[in-house]
C-alpha cells in the first residue's frame, strides 16, 4: 500500500457516491453496490420497525394473564408476522444486503461486485417478495401458522398462507442471486496482492454465507412449490388427508432453515471479527481457524437439521446422529469466542460504541451457545423443546448475536457510509438500554421455559394454578421489551440526527487498516478507489499502521494526519 495518496484521500471529496447523481430515479436505477447497500438498509430498517411493533404487541398481550389487548386470533397472527418479517425480511437479508454490499467490494479492493445489474435485480426481487407478503397479509386474510408453516395446519389454513409462502419463494431468489454475486466477486475481483489469507474476516464470513445462500435457498423454494402442487393439484405430499406425510414437511423446512441460521449468524461473526481487531488494535487471533471454520460450518450446517425434530416422531437413531453432528458444529463456534476474547490480550482496547456492541455480542452469544448445548442434548431437549427456553435461546442467538452485531457494524461503518459521525454519548446510553432491556426480556424466558411455559400461547391464566411463577416472569419480560424498544428508538433518533446535523467524519476515524478506511475518501468515490490498491499486508497488521498512515500526529484513528478528530481519545474505564 503506497503512502503517496494519503493526503488527497483525507480531504473531504467534492464529488462522492452520494452526490454524483441526484434524484430518486438515480437511486432506483443505480448499479453502484454502495447505493444498493443503502437501499437495503432503508427497507430492512422499515421491516425491522414493523416486526418490532408486532413483537411489542405480543409482549403487551403477555404482560398480564387473561386477555390484555387482543384475542387469540390476533395474537396468533401477531407472533406469526413478527417472526416471518424478522426472519425473512430482516435478519436473512440484513448483513449481506446492507454491509455485504457496501463493504465487501471495497474491502477486497474492487470497483464493484462482479454482476452489478444482477445486484440491483436482487433488490427488486426482494422487494417483490416483500410486496407479496404484505398483500397476503393486508388483502387476502389472516396468516396464523407461525413462521414454520408446519403442515397439515398450514395446508388447511387460509389462502393468505400461500401468499406468504410464495413471498418466501420469491425473496429466496434475491438471496440466491446475492450469494452468487459475492462468491464470484471474492474469487474474481480481488485487488493485486489481496491473497486469500489477507482477506478481512468479514469477507470470509460473507463468502461462507454466500455458499449457504446458493446451496440451501433452493430447498425452501422446492418446499413451497410442493405446497402449491398439493393445494392446487391435490397431490398428497404433506397432507395426511391426501396420503401425504406431515413430518416430511418438517424435514424439508429445516433442511433449509437450519442452514439459514448460518445465513443469519456467519455474517455477524464476520462483523465481530473486524470490530474486535480494530478496537483492540491487535491481530485477530486464530485468523486461519476463524476463516476456514466458517466455510466448514457452511457445509456441515446441512447435516444437522434433524435437531429440531427430536420429539417430532423421527426415529431415535436419527435423533442420536443429529445430536452428535450438532456438537461437532458447536465446538468450532466455541473456539471462535475464545479467539475473539483472546484478540484483546495485549491489545489497545478502545471502548467506542461499536466495540460495546462487539462485547455485548460476546456476552449474549455465549449464553445463546451454552443454551444451544442444553437443547442439543437429547434428554434435556425433550423437556425444553417448544417451550420458552427455545424462544429465549434463539433470541439470544438471532437477536443477541445477529442483530446486535449488525447494530455494531452499522455504527462502525456509519461514518464511511454517511460521511457523518453520530453522538457517542447517546450511542453508549442506547447500548446500555439495549443490553439491560434485552437480558431482562429474554433471560426471564429461559426460566419460564425450563419451568414448562410452552411457546406460542396466547394466554397462561389457566396454567397459573400449577405455575404461579409464570405471571411475574412474563411481566418482567414485558418490562424488558419496553426498555429494549426505548434503546432501539434512541438509536433511530440519533441516527437521524447524525444524518441531519452530524459532524463530518474523517477518512478513518477508528484507525482501522482495511482498505475501505485506508484507501477511500469519506464518503467514498463513486468508483471506490482512484487507483486500484496494491495490497502488501494483512487486514489486521496494526503494528504496521504508521507505515500505512504516515507518521502519526493527530487524534485517534485520524492517522491520515489531516482529518478532523471526532472523538477525543481517552482511556476508558471498563
Partner 1 sequence: MEDKGTLWLPENASTYAGDVDALFYFIYWVSVVLFILVIGAMVYFAYKYRRRSEADRPQPIKESKLVEASWVVVPTILVAIVFTWGFQVFIKMGVAPPNAYEITVRASKWNWLFEYPNGARSNELHVPVSRPIKLKMSSIDVLHSFFVPAFRTKQDVVPNRYTYVWFEATRQDTFQVMCTEYCGQQHSTMLSQVVVQSQGDFNTWLAENLIDESATPAERGELLYNQQGCFACHSLDGTTGSGPTFQGLSGSQRAFTDGTTATADANYLREAIINPAAQVVQGFAPVMPGQYGTTLTAEEIDALVAYIQEQ
Q: Which is nearer to partner 1, 215 or 471 (CB)?
A: 471
Residues between 420 and 449 with contacts to partner 1, criterion CB under 8 A: 447
* CA proximity to 90, closest of 101, 98, 80: 98
Is 59 one of the binding residues for Cu ion (CB under 5 A)?
no
Q: Which is nearer to partner 1, 216 or 268 (CB)?
A: 268
Cβ–Cβ under 8 Å, residues 93 and 172: no
Is 195 one of the binding residues for partner 1 (CB under 8 A)?
no
Residues between 267 and 286 with contacts to partner 1, criterion CB under 8 A: 280-283, 285-286
Q: Which does 362 bind (CB under 5 to 8 A by kind): Cu ion, partner 1, none?
A: partner 1
Hunting for cell 441531519 — which residue is that?
500
Cβ 32 to partner 1, closest distance in Å? 33
Spatial distance between the Cα atoms of 91 and 266, rounded to a whole number of angstroms: 11
Q: Which stretch binds Cu ion (CB under 5 A): 96-104, 109-117, 255-263, 290-298?
A: 255-263
Is 393 one of the binding residues for Cu ion (CB under 5 A)?
no
Is 471 one of the binding residues for partner 1 (CB under 8 A)?
no
Residues between 311 and 330 with contacts to partner 1, criterion CB under 8 A: 311-313, 316, 319-320, 323-324, 327, 330
Cβ 547 to partner 1, closest distance in Å? 11
* CA proximity to 369, closest of 329, 326, 408, 330: 330
Q: Which does 557 bind (CB under 5 to 8 A by kind): partner 1, Cu ion, none?
A: partner 1
Q: 523: cis peptide before it, omega within 30°?
A: yes
Residues between 346 and 385 with contacts to partner 1, criterion CB under 8 A: 346-351, 359, 362-363, 366-367, 370-371, 373-374, 377-383, 385
Q: 556: cis peptide before it, omega within 30°?
A: no
446 Cβ contact partners less than 8 Å away, ≥ 6 residues apart:
371, 388, 389, 392, 393
Q: Write out the DSSP string of 59-110.
A: HHHHTSSS-SS--HHHHHHHHHHHHHIIIIIIIHHHIIIIIIHHHHHHHTT-
Cβ–Cβ under 8 Å, residues 220 and 172: yes
Q: Which is nearer to Cu ion, 59 or 258 (CB)?
A: 258
524 Cβ contact partners less than 8 Å away, ≥ 6 residues apart:
16, 17, 34, 106, 416, 516
Among 33, 198, 258, 474, binds Cu ion (CB under 5 A): 258
Q: Which is nearer to Cu ion, 250 or 343 (CB)?
A: 250
Residues between 98 and 127 with contacts to Cu ion, criterion CB under 5 A: none
Residues between 218 and 257 with contacts to partner 1, criterion CB under 8 A: 240-241, 245-247
Spatial distance between the Cα atoms of 218 and 211, rounded to a whole number of angstroms: 12
Residues between 71 and 90 with contacts to partner 1, criterion CB under 8 A: 72-73, 76
Is 489 one of the binding residues for partner 1 (CB under 8 A)?
no
Is 543 one of the binding residues for partner 1 (CB under 8 A)?
yes
Hunting for cell 417430532 — which residue is that?
312
H or E element that contains 151: none
Q: Which does 258 bind (CB under 5 to 8 A by kind): Cu ion, partner 1, none?
A: Cu ion
Among 65, 504, 550, 555, binds partner 1 (CB under 8 A): 555
Helix axes 470-501 and 33-62, enclosed angle (nearest 10): 150
Q: Which stretch binds partner 1 (CB under 8 A): 25-33, 83-91, 264-272, 453-461?
A: 453-461
Q: Which is nearer to partner 1, 192 or 569 (CB)?
A: 569
Cα torsion 520, 273, 49, 260: sign: positive
Q: Which stretch binds Cu ion (CB under 5 A): 11-19, 59-67, 251-259, 351-359?
A: 251-259
Q: How many residues bind partner 1 (CB under 8 A)?
A: 97
H helical segments located in 234-302: 246-280, 287-300
Give the binding site for Cu ion (CB under 5 A): 258
Amino acid at each position: 500500500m503506497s503512502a503517496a495518496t494519503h493526503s488527497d484521500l483525507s480531504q473531504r471529496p467534492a464529488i462522492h457516491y452520494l452526490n454524483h447523481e441526484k434524484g430518486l430515479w438515480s437511486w432506483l436505477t443505480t448499479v453502484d453496490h454502495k447505493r444498493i447497500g443503502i437501499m437495503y438498509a432503508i427497507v430492512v430498517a422499515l421491516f425491522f420497525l414493523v416486526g418490532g411493533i408486532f413483537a411489542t404487541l405480543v409482549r403487551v398481550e403477555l404482560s398480564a394473564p387473561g386477555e390484555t389487548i387482543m384475542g387469540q386470533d390476533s395474537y396468533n397472527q401477531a407472533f406469526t408476522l413478527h417472526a416471518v418479517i424478522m426472519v425473512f425480511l430482516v435478519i436473512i437479508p440484513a448483513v449481506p444486503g446492507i454491509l455485504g454490499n457496501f463493504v465487501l467490494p471495497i474491502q477486497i479492493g474492487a470497483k464493484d461486485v462482479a454482476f452489478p445489474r444482477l445486484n440491483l435485480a436482487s433488490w427488486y426481487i426482494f422487494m417483490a417478495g416483500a410486496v407479496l407478503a404484505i398483500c397476503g397479509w393486508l388483502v387476502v386474510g389472516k396468516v396464523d401458522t407461525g413462521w414454520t408453516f408446519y403442515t397439515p395446519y398450514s395446508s388447511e389454513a387460509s389462502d393468505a398462507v400461500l401468499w406468504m409462502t410464495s413471498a418466501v419463494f420469491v425473496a429466496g431468489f434475491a438471496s440466491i442471486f446475492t450469494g452468487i454475486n459475492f462468491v464470484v466477486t471474492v474469487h474474481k475481483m480481488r485487488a493485486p496482492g489481496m491473497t486469500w489469507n489477507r482477506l478481512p474476516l468479514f469477507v470470509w464470513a460473507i463468502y461462507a454465507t454466500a455458499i449457504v445462500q446458493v446451496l440451501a435457498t433452493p430447498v425452501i423454494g422446492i418446499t413451497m412449490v410442493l405446497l402449491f402442487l398439493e393445494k392446487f393439484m391435490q397431490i398428497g405430499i404433506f397432507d395426511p388427508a391426501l396420503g401425504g406425510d406431515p413430518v416430511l414437511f418438517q424435514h424439508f423446512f429445516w433442511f433449509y432453515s437450519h442452514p439459514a441460521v448460518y445465513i443469519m449468524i456467519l455474517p455477524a461473526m464476520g462483523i465481530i471479527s473486524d470490530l474486535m481487531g480494530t478496537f483492540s488494535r491487535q491481530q485477530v487471533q486464530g485468523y486461519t481457524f476463524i476463516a476456514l471454520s466458517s466455510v466448514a460450518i457452511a457445509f456441515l450446517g446441512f447435516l444437522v437439521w434433524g435437531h429440531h425434530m427430536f420429539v417430532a416422531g423421527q426415529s431415535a437413531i436419527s435423533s442420536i446422529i443429529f445430536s452428535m453432528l450438532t456438537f461437532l458444529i458447536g465446538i468450532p463456534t466455541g473456539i471462535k469466542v475464545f479467539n475473539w476474547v483472546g484478540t484483546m490480550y495485549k491489545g489497545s482496547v478502545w471502548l467506542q460504541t461499536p466495540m460495546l456492541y462487539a462485547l455485548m455480542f460476546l456476552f449474549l452469544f455465549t449464553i445463546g451457545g451454552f443454551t444451544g448445548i442444553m437443547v442439543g442434548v437429547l434428554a434435556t431437549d425433550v423437556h425444553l423443546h417448544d417451550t420458552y427456553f427455545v424462544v429465549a435461546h434463539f433470541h439470544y442467538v438471532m437477536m443477541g448475536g445477529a442483530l446486535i452485531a449488525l447494530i455494531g457494524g452499522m455504527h462502525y461503518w456509519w461514518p464511511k457510509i454517511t460521511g457523518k459521525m453520530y453522538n457517542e454519548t447517546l450511542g453508549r446510553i442506547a447500548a446500555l438500554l439495549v443490553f439491560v432491556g434485552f437480558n431482562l426480556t429474554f433471560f426471564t424466558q429461559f426460566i419460564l421455559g425450563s419451568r414448562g411455559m410452552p411457546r406460542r400461547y396466547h394466554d397462561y391464566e389457566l396454567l397459573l394454578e400449577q405455575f404461579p411463577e409464570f405471571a411475574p416472569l412474563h411481566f418482567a419480560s414485558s418490562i424488558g421489551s419496553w426498555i429494549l424498544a426505548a434503546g432501539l428508538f434512541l438509536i433511530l433518533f440519533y441516527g437521524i440526527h447524525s444524518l441531519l446535523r452530524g459532524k463530518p467524519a474523517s477518512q478513518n476515524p477508528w484507525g482501522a487498516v482495511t482498505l475501505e478506511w485506508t484507501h477511500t475518501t469519506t464518503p467514498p468515490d463513486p468508483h471506490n478507489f482512484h487507483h486500484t490498491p496494491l495490497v502488501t499486508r494483512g487486514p489486521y497488521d496494526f503494528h504496521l499502521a504508521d507505515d500505512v498512515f504516515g507518521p502519526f500526529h493527530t487524534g485517534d484513528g485520524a492517522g491520515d494526519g489531516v482529518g478532523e478528530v471526532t472523538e477525543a481519545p481517552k482511556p476508558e474505564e471498563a
